[in-house]
Structure 1
Amino acid sequence: MIRCIRHTAAFTFLLLVALLVNAARVQVFEAEGYAGNTANRRVPIARYDKPRGAVLVAGSPVTGSRDSGGRLRYERTYTEGPLYAPVTGYSSQTYGTSLLERAEDGILSGADDRLATFPWWDHLTRTHRAGGSVHTTINPKMQRAAFDGLGGKKGAVAAVEPRTGRILALVSTPSYDPGELSGNSPAVSEAWRRLNGAEQRPMLNRALRQTYPPGSTFKVVTAAAALESGKVTDIEARTDSPDPYTLPGTATQLGNAARGCEDAPLKDAFRVSCNTVFARLGAEIGLRGMVDAARRFGFNDRRLRIPSLVAPSNFDTRMDPSQVALSAIGQYDTAATPLQMAMVSAAVANGGQLMPPYLVDKVTDARGVMVAAGPHRPTREAMGPATAQQLQDMMIDVVAHGSGRRAAIKGLTVGGKTGTAQHGVRNEGTPYAWFISWAREKDTYEPTVAVAVVVEDAAADREDISGGGSAAPIARAVMAAAG
């Protein structure tokens, strides 16, 4: 009898060990596999069992959570959703997350280990932490000024603080309400189909994800390349620039919309936007020099995140001389996001130093304790300070005496550059209106803001589209709101 009991006890012990080994295999070694399985409903149920952390603008939340009473309990809500959609993105039980909601999902959902005092214990006990908060760099007055300025037009605005890289405004219109995508009801699916199928593409973040031909605003980069390379040593000396200019290696002649461009000095050519002068300069600088100049301003950077991913702005690295000449005036395949062109303007205003842009000032836990500060990335020298000073003078001249007069603000020194970018087959599409600018207090060299505005307005007559007419007033409103 005792022998049988011993055998039974030994067998039971072996069964217990096997059970523990299997439990360890499931809970430790295969936990991630089970957690990531789409059939596992416990993960989304736990994820939405507590309110999501908030995205804040100037200390006030622009997102919240609503108790739906369903199995996926808490749904995302948005304060002034269309205004801040290009910043927050959406958080949906059905369609996932986008933009800041995606980039900072670990903090907002509570999954980030930085929110835990003892992460190993939370992993062991499967504790679901309360979501933290994401504090953005957005200035609400500037955001509103940009949104109202664009109105019903298709376009975008990006504004940055040149000295720090803080993004002060990020607007894309037409916009949408991310709250329509919260939850998992049939209405959410219908809203998703409607928004994605809309001709105006309201869910496209034009400030970060859409690239446009920058047109004459790219002449800031070409002017910097000409001055840095020594192709131009005196911005007021006459250049050897024919009008019209025959593109190298072709019989194609390039003309100007402005008068007085033949042999115009760089400063005058910049003010009235002479295509011939800048195309010739681009061809003289050459492919390598132009590519290097564009890269210093941030073009062709596929790693830029703010922390949301930003579409890379393009300056081709393989072109013949005629294509380089066209690229130097913002045509051919040159393309830029509004954020990229705000970076160009900021580098000029900041004495040639380009600060990487960022959107998150800090993140805090549910108690308000700071978990991480904003990023501290190394600066990039886009140009020397002497070149930046000359470009500042030329941009000030555009606002004081050129096509950027509508951007002038009393009491501030404002520099700008207009642009009208052709596109479409044979350039038959309605041109995009560009304006890039910066502002600072008079009698100081401390820039307060740099702005880029692009307007796509298919309803306007062709002659009414211009950077100075359509985009400059919007930039002015945004710069004025920075004070």
Structure 2
Amino acid sequence: MTRYIRRAAAFCVLLLVALLVNTAWLQVLQAPSYGGNPANRRPTIARYERPRGQILVGGRAVTGSRDTGEQLRYERTYTDGPLYAPVTGFASQRYGTTFLEHAEDAVLSGTDPLVAGLPLFAAGPRARPAGGDVVTTIDPGAQRAAFDGLGGRKGAVAAVEPTTGRILALVSTPSYDPAELSGNGPAVAAAWARLTADPDQPLLNRAVRQTYPPGSTFKVVTAAAALEAGVVRDLDARTWSPDPYRLPGSTTRLVNEGEGCRNASLRHAFEWSCNTVFAKLGVDVGAEAMKETAERFGFNDSGLRIPFWVAPSTFDASADRAQLALSSIGQFNTRATPLQMAMVAAAVAAGGQVPTPYLVERTVRPGGGVVSAAGSRPLRQVMGPATAARLRELMCDVVTDGTGGNAAIPGAIVGGKTGTAQHGVGNSGTPYAWFVSWAQGARDLSPRVAVAVVVEDAAARRGDISGGGTAAPIARAVMEAVLRTPPAP
């Protein structure tokens, strides 16, 4: 009898061991395949069982969560959705996440271990903490001024604080309401189909994901290269530049929209945007020096994150001298995002140094504890302080005496550069109207804001040398909004 009991006990132990082995096999070795199985809805249900954290602008939440009472319980909501869409992106139960909703998803969804007060006890979806909040650097007044200034036109605005790299405005139009994509029903699918089929591409973030020929605004970079290389030593000396200028090794003649560019000084050429002068300066500086200067400003950098990815701005110096001349006036293969051109203006405003731009000031736990903070940003030396001072002088001249008068702000020091970029087959497209600028208030020790504006469908006349009539007023409104705001502590 005892022998049968021992056998039964051994069999029970064997069954228990088999059960434990099978459980371990399922829970440890097979868990990834089950977790990633499209038929497994448990991770998705867990993801939406709690409210998502907030994205804050100027201390106010511009996002929220709505209890639908359905299996995927909480759905994302947005305040002023079209205004902040280039910043927040969307968080969709059907189409995933973009921009800050994607880059900061771990904090917002509460899956980041640092969001929980006691991470070791936060394992598993049942113990998942509420989402943390993301505090942005955006100035709500500047954002609104940029959005209203663009109106219904296609274009973008980027504004940064020159000394810190804080992004103060990031606007792209036409925009869309991210709330239309939040759920997973038929209305969301219809909105997605409409937005993706729209030829104006409202889902495209033109401020950071679209590159344009920067046109004459790139002459800031070319002027810096010429001054740093010693090709120009006196702002008022003649540059010995013919008008028209025959591109080296070709029969193509480059001309100017305005008068007085023949042998013009750098000051006059900068004020009135003489193509011939700057094309020749680019050739005189040389391909390598032009490329090095452009890259110090941030061109050809494919690794910029703010925290989401920014399309690289490009300067190609590998072509022949004729093409180098065109690249040096912001045409040919030279391409830039509005954020990149805002950083060009910021480098001048900040005395030749430029910090890495950033959009997130800090992330915080639901209780208010800081998870991470931006802190001080590394500085990149773009040019010498003397060169920056001379460029500030030139940019101020553009506003006071040149093509950028529409950007002037009473009582403030404003520097700017206008630009009209040709594009399309045979330059047949409507020129892009550009303006880059910076402003310093009467009581400020240094410039407070640098701005870049591009308008794709500007109604600018060909006779206009630059985008001063279309883009400059938008930049002025953004700069005024920032100067009215007390400086950040």
* TM-score normalised according to structure 1 size: 0.97
Equivalent in the alignment of 1:83: 83
Q: CA deviation at 1:18?
A: 2.7
Q: CA deviation at 1:376?
A: 3.8
Q: Which moved more, 1:460-469 or 1:302-311?
A: 460-469
- Is this contact kept in 1: 2:439–2:449, CA < 8 A? yes
- Is this contact kept in 2: 1:431–1:465, CA < 8 A? no
Equivalent in the alignment of 2:333: 333
Equivalent in the alignment of 1:43: 43
Equivalent in the alignment of 1:179: 179
In structure 2, the CA distance between the partners of 1:240 and 1:443, relative to structure 1 (3 Å rule), is farther
Q: Could you tell me how far apart the structure 2 residues matched to 1:153 and 1:464 are? A: 19
In structure 2, the CA distance between the partners of 1:444 and 1:47, relative to structure 1 (3 Å rule), is closer
Q: Could you tell me how far apart the structure 2 residues matched to 1:445 and 1:241 are? A: 38
The alignment yields a C-alpha RMSD, in angstroms, of 1.5
Q: CA deviation at 1:431?
A: 0.1
Q: CA deviation at 1:35?
A: 2.4
Q: Could you tell me how far apart the structure 1 residues matched to 2:3 and 2:429 are? A: 94
Q: CA deviation at 1:124?
A: 6.0
- Is this contact kept in 1: 2:339–2:452, CA < 8 A? yes
- Is this contact kept in 2: 1:52–1:64, CA < 8 A? yes
Equivalent in the alignment of 1:418: 418
Q: CA deviation at 1:15?
A: 2.4
- Is this contact kept in 1: 2:216–2:466, CA < 8 A? no
Amino acid at match of 1:355: P
Alignment of 1:382-393 (within 5 A): 382-393=382-393
Equivalent in the alignment of 1:168: 168
Equivalent in the alignment of 1:285: 285
Q: Could you tell me how far apart the structure 2 residues matched to 1:30 and 1:110 are? A: 25
- Is this contact kept in 1: 2:164–2:377, CA < 8 A? no
| Residue deviations 1:178-212 (CA, integer Å, cap 9, x gap) | 00001111000000000010121111100010000
- Is this contact kept in 2: 1:296–1:380, CA < 8 A? yes
Amino acid at match of 1:218: F
Alignment of 1:203-282 (within 5 A): 203-282=203-282
SS at match of 1:75: strand
Equivalent in the alignment of 2:357: 357
Q: CA deviation at 1:30?
A: 4.1
Indicate yes or no: 2:374 matched with 1:374.
Answer: yes
| Residue deviations 1:35-91 (CA, integer Å, cap 9, x gap) | 233221000100000100000001110000001111111000000100000100000
SS at match of 2:208: coil
Amino acid at match of 1:233: R
Q: Could you tell me how far apart the structure 1 residues matched to 2:129 and 2:406 are? A: 51
Q: Could you tell me how far apart the structure 1 residues matched to 2:219 and 2:117 are? A: 52
Q: Could you tell me how far apart the structure 2 residues matched to 1:22 and 1:321 are? A: 71
SS at match of 1:146: helix
Q: CA deviation at 1:34?
A: 2.8
- Is this contact kept in 2: 1:110–1:132, CA < 8 A? yes
Equivalent in the alignment of 2:143: 143
Equivalent in the alignment of 1:113: 113
Indicate yes or no: 2:306 matched with 1:306.
Answer: yes
Alignment of 1:26-41 (within 5 A): 26-41=26-41
Equivalent in the alignment of 1:440: 440
Q: Which moved more, 1:227-236 or 1:349-358?
A: 227-236
Equivalent in the alignment of 1:99: 99
- Is this contact kept in 2: 1:433–1:465, CA < 8 A? no
Q: Which moved more, 1:346-355 or 1:108-117?
A: 108-117
Q: CA deviation at 1:364?
A: 0.4
In structure 2, the CA distance between the partners of 1:133 and 1:317, relative to structure 1 (3 Å rule), is same
Q: Could you tell me how far apart the structure 2 residues matched to 1:407 and 1:363 are? A: 35
Equivalent in the alignment of 1:193: 193
Q: Could you tell me how far apart the structure 2 residues matched to 1:162 and 1:125 are? A: 43
Amino acid at match of 1:118: L
- Is this contact kept in 2: 1:432–1:465, CA < 8 A? no
In structure 2, the CA distance between the partners of 1:444 and 1:373, relative to structure 1 (3 Å rule), is closer
Indicate yes or no: 2:3 matched with 1:3.
Answer: yes
Amino acid at match of 1:306: I
* TM-score normalised according to structure 2 size: 0.96
Q: Could you tell me how far apart the structure 2 residues matched to 1:125 and 1:394 are? A: 59
Q: Could you tell me how far apart the structure 1 residues matched to 2:389 and 2:191 are? A: 50
Q: CA deviation at 1:134?
A: 0.2
Amino acid at match of 2:413: T
Of all paired residues, the percent bearing the same amino acid is 65
Equivalent in the alignment of 2:152: 152
Q: Could you tell me how far apart the structure 2 residues matched to 1:124 and 1:5 are? A: 41
Q: CA deviation at 1:20?
A: 2.0
Q: Could you tell me how far apart the structure 1 residues matched to 2:222 and 2:375 are? A: 30
Alignment of 1:387-406 (within 5 A): 387-406=387-406
Q: Could you tell me how far apart the structure 2 residues matched to 1:33 and 1:120 are? A: 24
Alignment of 1:65-76 (within 5 A): 65-76=65-76
In structure 2, the CA distance between the partners of 1:292 and 1:30, relative to structure 1 (3 Å rule), is farther
